[in-house]
Chains A and B, each alone.
Chain A
Amino acid sequence: MSATAPPMRPVRKRSFDRSVYLSVGLALVGVALTLGPILYLVLGGFKTQGDLAENPTGFPDPFQWQNYWSILSAPLFWRQLLNSTLVALATTLGVVLLGTMAAYPLARYKFRGREFFFVIFTTGLMFPLTVAVLPLYLLLRDMGISGLAGLVIPQIAFGLPVTIIILRPFLKALPMELEEAAFMDGVSRIGFFWRMLLPLAKPGMVTVGVLAFIGSWNAYLLPLLLLTGDPTGMTLPLGVTTFQGQHSSATTMIMAYTSLAMVPALVFFLFMERRIVDGLTGAVKG
């Protein structure tokens, strides 16, 4: 959309050969393969069970709102949406706050053992949740932490390594004169952290925050172990698979439920696309 080409320089013109049509064609195939299944899912939610069987690819006929309406008018979906939102917000807040706090001395203090502490956190990258999940489940059970809190606390812990790794160089890059000036004015280090560093570190914090939020929003393994039983206590991903298990014969209902569960993520993505991409590419470049 935004890429309407500027007036073409001669050089551009020469490199503009016929193969650009090939590129556009390829792009269209890619878009169709990406959006096709999603559209099929969303439209399927508007179909009756019989219509889906007879007319799988066509437009819904009759076009009926009933599937979507019955989900939206019952509390279950909204409860799970709320659960997912609360867990994701709490996880993001915890990861960003604790991560920034830890990254600050690791980036800007001089003390013995600094690199050692940093390395301890980086080893966390090698411990995926999958490896730790069985003992983690037992630990939470023994500590009596259950439900959504049991989800938030480990998610924060597992989100810390990548947060600290991204934020440390970011905090390091802020000029050292800032601190010197602040200390001259009699500001304590803690005061400096709250009043100067946090506002300045905001872009970096938004980046790691967005990544933490998406990670929590999509999480499946931990909820699968922790949030068994009552569907009203589940987050959306687990809610979707549970709904799918309970309504296995009503395909169009599952399609509607899945489509609705997809909406918040897509809206968030459209608003945060730049941030997400910057975060991911930035995290990879290190």
Chain B
Amino acid sequence: MTALEASGVDQGSAVDAKASAAGPRPMTPVTNHKRRDTIRKWGEITLFVGPALVLFLTFVVYPVVSAARYSFYKWNGVSQFSDAQYIGFENYARALFGGTDPDLKQAFTTQYSQPFWDALGHNFAIIGLSMVVQLPLALLIALTLNRKFPGRSSVRVIMFAPYVLSEVIAGVMWLIIFDPNGIATDFMHSIGLNPPAGGWLEDQTWAFWVVFFVITWKYIGLAIILFLAGLSGVPEDLQEAASIDGASWWQIQWRINIPLIGPTIRIWAFLSIIGSIQLFDMVWVLNQGGTTGQYSTIATYMMQIGFFRSDWGYGSAIAVIMFFISFVIAIAYMLVVLRNDNTDRVRKAR
């Protein structure tokens, strides 16, 4: 990596300096001129793209490749990596079904496989609930805010604000609200209901829903803003024509607006799915996924195992699985769902 860096950058600037020094002199033979131009062009390209490419390869691509490499080893991250023990696909096997050793299978299923599938289940539950709860809710709010009424733009700004707040601030805020002695508990008492006995985030049934509520509060603003942007592109004469023909507000939304912002909805769904797979910050702030991992995600599980319990090989295997899942979903979604939108766009452009 460093060799590439040195040669790439040095060559670039050297060639460039030479090129610009020779640049303004006119009237050189044509062939020389052409060749010098090519060198100069590549020099410039190296100069412009080089720094970004080096940084990207070093700090994005190399770590990702390393994660794939570590995932085949048993390694604690402290000792030299050269001393680490190569164990093939054992880390993956442990996560997926308790490992290949029949004697340890039982123990490893409890220790590795169970928490892994629990975490993955939470990720997918969040994806499903986003589509079933966040999507209709955001759509309803966006359609509402698409109508003209006084104060509308202020409402838009306010409802988008949580999206801009950091996960930490939102997380700590809700942590205080859902404290066992906090205001959420008081509220339950005041309406005559019993709050969960062990605390909101410890209760096996409540905890996940509380976390999903917080996630919705934080991220629904993005959906609303995207949908509103889509709605502003729907031609108004369509709606007016429908309304002259006697269509009610609901009919206009259902038959015209919602179908026409379909592409925006599908892109949001894509972002939401990928975001849900990689969800980390918010869940980590909310007690790191719960004391027994009752709302852990793949990413929080990876951090707990890899970094805080120093099982880097296993943690890296989890990271690779997470990447693999989002990669497959992304490709499938692009091929199946988004492709139609793109061909639509091309057709329209023609």
Interface residue ranges, A against B (CB under 8 Å): 1-5, 11, 14-15, 17, 19-20, 23-24, 26-27, 30-31, 33-35, 37-38, 40-41, 44, 53, 56-57, 98-99, 101-102, 104-106, 109, 111, 117, 120-121, 124, 126-128, 130-139, 153-154, 156-158, 160-161, 164, 186, 188-190, 193, 214, 217-218, 220-221, 224-225, 236-238, 240-241, 244, 251, 254-255, 258, 261-262, 265-266, 268-270, 273, 276-277, 280-281, 284-285
Contacts and interface: CB of A to CB of B under 8 A. Distances in A.
Nearest to B243: A15
A139 B181 contact: no
Given A131-B67, A261-B169, A284-B271, A117 B60 contact: no
A185 B6 CA distance: 34
Interface residues on B, range: 35 or more
A195 to B, nearest CB: 15
B177 interface: yes
Nearest to A224: B284
B156 to A, nearest CB: 9
Given A265-B166, A280-B226, A124 B56 contact: yes
Given A30-B155, A188-B23, A281-B229, A106 B60 contact: no
A130 B280 contact: yes
Main secondary structure of the interface of A (DSSP, over half): helix
B176 A251 contact: yes
A241 B181 CA distance: 19
B161 A105 contact: no
A2 B149 CA distance: 10
B226 A281 contact: yes
A211 B218 CA distance: 17
A132 B155 contact: no
19 contacts: A27-B149, A27-B152, A56-B183, A101-B51, A102-B48, A102-B49, A105-B48, A121-B56, A124-B60, A126-B327, A130-B299, A131-B278, A132-B63, A134-B312, A137-B307, A160-B55, A160-B60, A224-B284, A265-B169
B51 A98 contact: yes
B335 interface: no
B152 to A, nearest CB: 5
Contact of B140 (A4, A26, A127, A128): A26
B63 A139 contact: yes
A241 B281 CA distance: 11
Contacts of B177: 37, 40
A134 B183 contact: no
A3 B149 contact: yes
Instruction: Pick from B49, B62, B161, B280 the residue with the most CB of A within 10 Å.
Output: B49
B59 A157 contact: yes
B121 interface: no
B132 interface: no
Given A102-B49, A105-B44, A34 B158 contact: yes
Given A11-B244, A105-B49, A220-B284, A34 B169 contact: no
Contacts of B77: 134, 138
B34 interface: no
Interface of B: 16, 20, 23-24, 41-42, 44-45, 47-49, 51-53, 55-56, 58-64, 66-67, 70, 77, 140-141, 144-145, 147-155, 157-162, 164-169, 172-177, 179, 181-183, 186, 217, 222, 225-226, 229, 239-240, 243-244, 248-250, 252, 264, 267-268, 271, 278, 280-281, 284-285, 299, 302-303, 306-307, 312, 315-316, 319-320, 322-323, 326-327, 330
A47 B93 CA distance: 53
A31 B60 contact: no
B322 A27 contact: no
B148 A262 contact: no
A221 B281 CA distance: 7
Contacts of A26: 140-141, 144
A276 B164 contact: yes
A3 B179 CA distance: 40
Contacts of B159: 30-31, 34
Contacts of B161: 34, 38, 266, 269
Contacts of A284: 226, 264, 267-268, 271
B41 A109 contact: yes
Given A157-B56, A225-B307, A284-B226, A134 B70 contact: yes
A35 B158 contact: yes
Contact of A277 (B41, B148, B160, B327): B160
Contacts of A135: 62-64, 66-67, 70, 316
Contacts of B240: 11, 15
Nearest to A26: B144
A126 B330 contact: yes
A239 to B, nearest CB: 9
A4 B331 CA distance: 45
A270 B312 CA distance: 42
Contact of B250 (A1, A19, A280): A19
B74 to A, nearest CB: 15
Given A126-B326, A188-B20, A221-B284, 10 more contacts: A2-B153, A20-B149, A40-B183, A120-B53, A131-B278, A135-B70, A137-B307, A153-B55, A188-B23, A240-B168
